[in-house]
Structure formats: C-alpha cells, structure tokens
Structure 1
Amino acid sequence: MTQTPTTAVVFAYHNVGVRSIKTLLARGVQIKLVVTHEDNPAETIWFDSVAALCKEHGIETITPADPKNPELSARIAEIAPDFIFSFYYRHMLPVDLLALAKRGAYNLHGSLLPKYRGRVPVNWAVLHGETETGATLHEMAAKPDAGAIIAQTAVPILPDDTAYEIFGKLTVAAEQTLWHALPRLIDGSFVALPNNLAAGSYFGGRKPEDGRIDWNQTANLVYNLHRAVAPPYPGAFFEQFGHHFIIEKARLSDLSAANLPTGLHVVDNVIFGVCGDGRALRIIELRCDGKIVSAEELRQLTDTAT
C-alpha cells in the first residue's frame, strides 16, 4: 500500500529558511507552496535566498506583502496542507490561516523559549550577555512565540561571539531541531511541552540608532552592544572629534584606563575605547566617515580636532 506523502505550505526567509526547507525535503515532506519576502534593496543581504532554492527544486514561490491577504488564505485552503511551517518569516501569521493546516502549524524561533520571545532574539541575547541560546520548534498561536514547545536545541554564546557568529550556530541548531522532531510530528507521536510565558521575556525589534555607544557605560555593556550589532549588522557607532565612527571589530582589553577620559584614544599605536568603569575596548578595526582608519590616521584626526 502506497503511503500518502505529507504535505506542507512553508513561510520562509533567510538562512534558517533555506536549511529548514532542505530538511523538510530530506524527510520526504512534499512542499506545495513557499511564501517568502522580496529582498529589500536598502538591506545588506548577507544570507541565502529561499526563492533561489525553491527555483532550483521547482517549488512554487510567492511574495505577498501581507500574509493576511484573503487570496493567500484561499490558496492555502485549496491546497489543504497537512502542516504549515514558518522559518524566519518576518510577519505574524493570522490564526484563521494557521487553522488551514490539518495537522498543525509550527514555527522555528531563534531562542530557548520562553526566553527572548519576539523580534531579533539573537541580537538581544548577545546584548544582555547571555552565555547560551538556542532554537525552538513550537506551535504557532495568536501571540508571538507563545505556542507549546515541540523541541529545542541549545548552543553556547562564547565571550567574543558576535550575533552573526551565533546566527550561524543557530542555523545548524534549527536544522537539527527540525530534523529530529519531524518523524514524531509526521506520525503524531510528539509530546508538546508547556511554554510558560511568565517565566520568559519578550523584546521588540531594534533600529540602527539603538547601536549608539554611550562610553560612560561599563566596558562589558559597550562590548556586548558591539557584539550584538557588529557587521553585517549596522554596527555600534558614536561621534567624536566631529566625525562618525563605527566599530567593525574589537575585544575587551586589560588596559587600565582610569586616568583617561571616556571615548577614543590611541595608546602605543593601538586604538582604545575607554569606558565609564575605567576599562577599555581594544578596537581592531574602526570605520571613520565610511572609511577604515589606522591608529596613526586617528591620531592625526585627534591632533587636528584639538
């Protein structure tokens, strides 16, 4: 007797979307439709393309601006998929759309729920100095990242990891989570765990302006901000000497800088950012008005400014 294939409609974007679609295909799931985003020309596209992957596999792809579009709901109702999956799709899906999946609707989120529900969880976790995060597969509900938990995979956040590096780990963790959970989802043997929202946290999106450095803060706080928004994100920035600076790469320093005012300094031909607690960041790569500057070039700027 031939087994009826498991079908899915997938909402996906970014690297996690690409790897998760590949995982569904490897598990024999028949993807009837993929909903993704048009790339924003104002955004730095450093991640893989869901649309390109789907073209390669002959999967139909559409890019509606709003998932609440009645035509989209009608199309999914016509498909009548077993599952709906969301893999780093950037919009909340309406409850009436989720109900169109005969066997459930599930999302992959980039944190260990219930912590860091909401937007850009990787950046928030690094900003707050967390030492661990992970990927969570959960049921979708009316509230963001609030449904029951199906599976989780943890990854470490090392002291010098940037959000970009953590995102690479989470892409693998998401793939592993989905790979191990899919057989139980397909045969119905999975056991959902409660997602205790009261024990977690919720955060909204971040804007480039949120990357502004306050050198009066402690070195740990400034360093975490740098790691959270380091390239390919917009970067931690500040103004000094009449110029706009972005830190491209830095490390915490052992320099005792209690005798120096806060902000940029060149000491022994090394650039430091002195913080409010007398500690400093050793700035390995610094951009000034759009151009990378050396310690000597920065010294000339400071001499000119003074």
Structure 2
Amino acid sequence: MRVVMFGYQTWGHRTLQALLDSEHEVPLVVTHPKSDHAYEKIWDDSVADLAEQHGVPVLIRNRPDDEDLMSALKEAAPDVIVATNWRTWIPPQIFNLPPRGTLNIHDSLLPAYAGFSPLIWALINGEKEVGVTAHMMNDELDAGDIVLQRAVPVGPTDTTTDLFHKTLELFGPITVDGLALIASGRTDWVKQDRSKASFFHKRSTEDIRIDWNWPAEDLERLVRAQCAPYPSAFTYHRGQQLDILAAAVSQGRYGGTPGRIFYQEGDAVVIVAGADARTGRNHGLAIKRVRTHDGRELPAAEYFTTMGGYLTNQP
C-alpha cells in the first residue's frame, strides 16, 4: 500500500523506519518542527532526517490545516495514513482522505490514558501494565475503533524511561501488523468502551511539584515517573528548589505533619507524607538522592545533616 506518515520524535522515527523496511511505499512524510518544550526535547530522533536519508519528501507543519499540505496529500494518493505521536489535531478532510482511513499509533492501552504523557501518568497511578494501541482515527482524539493492542508489564522498580524502551519496541511491529490487517480487507475493529475512557493533559512544572499530602507510595511512583531524562520531581528546602532523584517507601511508619524531615533510615532520610500523617499509620518517603538548586547531586544523608524542619511545595 501507499502509506503517508504523520509522525514526530523517536516514536515517529521508529514507526517510519518500520514502514521503510516493509513492503509498503512511503510517498510523503509530515512532521513537526523541533520544539523547546521540555518533554519534546526528550526522545527527539528526527523524522525529517530519516525521511530525507531515504529520499522521501518531507513537509514540516505545526498544524495540518493549509491548502498546500492538502494538495501534497492528494498528489501522494495514499491508500492509508499512519499517525504516530502527532501533537495537534488532524482534521477529517485529512484522516478521511485515504480510502482505507488513518491508523493512529498511541502509547497507551486505550480507552485509558488518551492524550499526552500516558506512560508518566500510568506509572504515577500504579497501573500494572502499559502498552500501545493501533486504532482508526475519527473525530475524537484517541477514540477510534481498535485494530490491535499490545501490552507490557510494569515492574516494581520501573521508571518511565524503562517503560519508554519497553513500549518503543512495540511501535514498528504493531504498525506493520495493523497495516496487514487493513490490507486484508478487515473492518471488524473493536469499538472503544467510552465509559472507561480517560484523557490527560501535557505535563508541566506544576505536575512535578511534590505535594507532601500525597501518600508515600504515590510520591515514590512520582519520583520514578519523573526520572532522567525527564524533569525531576521537586520540593523546596529553606527556600531553594531541591530535586528528588531517588526514593523509596520507608520501612517504618511515621506520624506528624506532612513534609517534616524526620528520621534517617539506613542511607535514606524519611519525610513524613500523607494528608492523614497525624494518625501515625503512614509510611514516609525515604529520600535516597537529591540535586540542589546549583546542580550538585549527592546522597540524601549527606545533604540532610540534621533532622527537623520541613520540605514545602513553595519557596
């Protein structure tokens, strides 16, 4: 089949490589310009460079809504469009243009975690598995009928980076396998149960600011979710930002006020956590490694030389 691809960053790069290695013909690629957004500078293998290396024409757009793009798409005459990590809305006149429709590849197990940063949100929420969905695009973002889904387990110490690498391996195969099903003439796709749908926004600074009213279990997952190369979860100590690089749920239970720098447990320093920490039934967050406002990384036991005082969510 003739396949036009809309894609961006490493997800799009991996998908395009799979298409180039397949039996399909790629007459045109559409991608976004490079971005300064913190999360879009991560995993930023260039779709444009890969396409140009293989002699495939490339158009760069923030939004696919101009007449020149429509003319190029009609000239390319795709049988199907594949979209991977396209960051803005694709209008019906584009996704309905090919006779076999548009196949979107999304890194969650839809209908849950539609939208942005699904791996980070899923890890924070304690999901037991994550995955990739190939679905037919319709008028609602990430809501079309499901062609294929593939899942991988979330391990007890997995970070978002671990999950990225696990799910990235699924992108090429699920794209090629989904196209094979479309080429076979099948249309009996699985409709999404919209009662189970959830839609998440792009992450920003407010989403990584630690709230010590959260239970320690949730905070530990937040730290793993915001691992390198993502921006680190942070708090404030004595008016200065303090990034939390590694942490665990404490062995003991600690009572008091959320955010209290309380107790050295092994090589970690325990911070009281949870809105009901006053009951003394909660575990704390055992911080293992931090980064100071001036960029120094050091073990928590070296940074917190005395107990007492508080970590806060504002300077």
TM-score, normalization by structure 1: 0.89
Q: Counterpart of 2:15?
A: 20
Q: Which residue identity does 1:291 align to in structure 2?
A: R
Determine which of 269, 284, 288 is the counterpart of 1:280. 284
The farther-off stretch of 40-49 and 197-206 is 40-49
Task: Within 5 Å, give how 1:1-306 maps onto structure 2.
Answer: 6-41=1-36, 43=38, 44-189=41-186, 191-258=188-255, 262-264=259-261, 267=264, 269-276=267-274, 277=277, 278-289=282-293, 290-295=295-300, 297-300=302-305
The farther-off stretch of 263-272 and 279-288 is 263-272
Q: Which residue identity does 1:200 align to in structure 2?
A: A
Taking a change above 3 Å as real, the CA distance of residues 264 and 12 of structure 1, as seen in their structure-2 partners, is farther
- 1:31 counterpart SS class: coil
Deviation at 1:28, TM superposition (A): 1.2
Q: Which residue identity does 1:292 align to in structure 2?
A: E
Deviation at 1:104, TM superposition (A): 1.1
Q: Which residue identity does 1:280 align to in structure 2?
A: G
Deviation at 1:187, TM superposition (A): 2.7
Deviation at 1:193, TM superposition (A): 1.0
Taking a change above 3 Å as real, the CA distance of residues 74 and 261 of structure 1, as seen in their structure-2 partners, is closer
The farther-off stretch of 46-55 and 104-113 is 46-55
For the Cα contact (< 8 Å) 1:136–1:174, is it kept in 2? no
For the Cα contact (< 8 Å) 2:3–2:25, is it kept in 1? yes
Q: Counterpart of 1:3?
A: none
Deviation at 1:303, TM superposition (A): 8.9
Q: Which residue identity does 2:186 align to in structure 1?
A: S
Per-residue deviation, residues 56-112 of structure 1 (Å, max 9, x unmatched): 222222211221122111210121111111011111200111122122111001111
Structure 2 unmatched ranges of 5 or more? 311-315
Q: Whole-Å Cα distance in 2 between the matches of residues 94 and 27 of structure 1?
A: 27
Q: Whole-Å Cα distance in 2 between the matches of residues 9 and 50 of structure 1?
A: 13
For the Cα contact (< 8 Å) 1:266–1:295, is it kept in 2? no
- 1:32 counterpart SS class: coil
Per-residue deviation, residues 250-285 of structure 1 (Å, max 9, x unmatched): 232313333686344561553333313431233332
Structure 1 unmatched ranges of 5 or more? 1-5
Deviation at 1:40, TM superposition (A): 1.8
Q: Which residue identity does 2:273 align to in structure 1?
A: C
- 1:254 counterpart SS class: strand
- 2:243 counterpart SS class: strand
For the Cα contact (< 8 Å) 1:107–1:137, is it kept in 2? yes
TM-score, normalization by structure 2: 0.87
Taking a change above 3 Å as real, the CA distance of residues 148 and 39 of structure 1, as seen in their structure-2 partners, is same
For the Cα contact (< 8 Å) 2:246–2:289, is it kept in 1? yes
Per-residue deviation, residues 95-154 of structure 1 (Å, max 9, x unmatched): 111122122111001111111122221121112111112100001111101111100001
Taking a change above 3 Å as real, the CA distance of residues 301 and 54 of structure 1, as seen in their structure-2 partners, is farther
Deviation at 1:302, TM superposition (A): 7.0
Q: Say how many residue pairs are matched.
A: 300
For the Cα contact (< 8 Å) 2:260–2:309, is it kept in 1? no
Q: Counterpart of 2:313?
A: none
Per-residue deviation, residues 142-201 of structure 1 (Å, max 9, x unmatched): 110111110000111122212221121111122232232222222323531111212222
For the Cα contact (< 8 Å) 1:155–1:173, is it kept in 2? no
Q: Whole-Å Cα distance in 2 between the matches of residues 303 and 281 of structure 1?
A: 15
Q: Which residue identity does 1:270 align to in structure 2?
A: A
